[in-house]
Amino acid sequence: DAGVTQSPTHLIKTRGQQVTLRCSPKSGHDTVSWYQQALGQGPQFIFQYYEEEERQRGNFPDRFSGHQFPNYSSELNVNALLLGDSALYLCASSLLGQTYEQYFGPGTRLTVT
């Protein structure tokens, strides 16, 4: 049973560019959440997708957007990259309505230069 997968593993971008990160949820899961973890900090909630719609959003600007596909996989897009966007981006999947438990992927390390 495949767990949560994310791609790419690492990414280096320049300020002002745009980036797309991808996530495939654990088999059987229908909800995907994204978190940003800056160095030395705990992960911060970005947003959550269910049935291809954004259900809840954390305190992140509109430069951060997402999408969920019919197969439940998801993308996180960040426009106009800033140096402060450098972080580990974590994807978590879960099954809505079931025991509250999220399963995390290995993350994508984004470096903005």
Q: Does 25 bind another protein (CB under 8 A)?
A: no
Q: CB of 90 within 8 A of CB of 25?
A: no
Nearer to another protein, 8 or 16 (CB): 8
User: Are 105 and 2 within 8 A, CB to CB?
Assistant: no
H-type alpha helices, 1-113:
none
Q: Which stretch binds another protein (CB under 8 A): 15-23, 30-38, 62-70, 75-83?
A: 30-38
Residue 102 CA to residue 33 CA, distance in Å, equals 9
Within residues 39-58, the interface with another protein by CB under 8 A covers 40-45, 48, 55-56, 58
Instruction: Candidates 12-20, 67-75, 77-85, 91-99: pick the segment binding another protein (CB under 8 A).
Output: 91-99
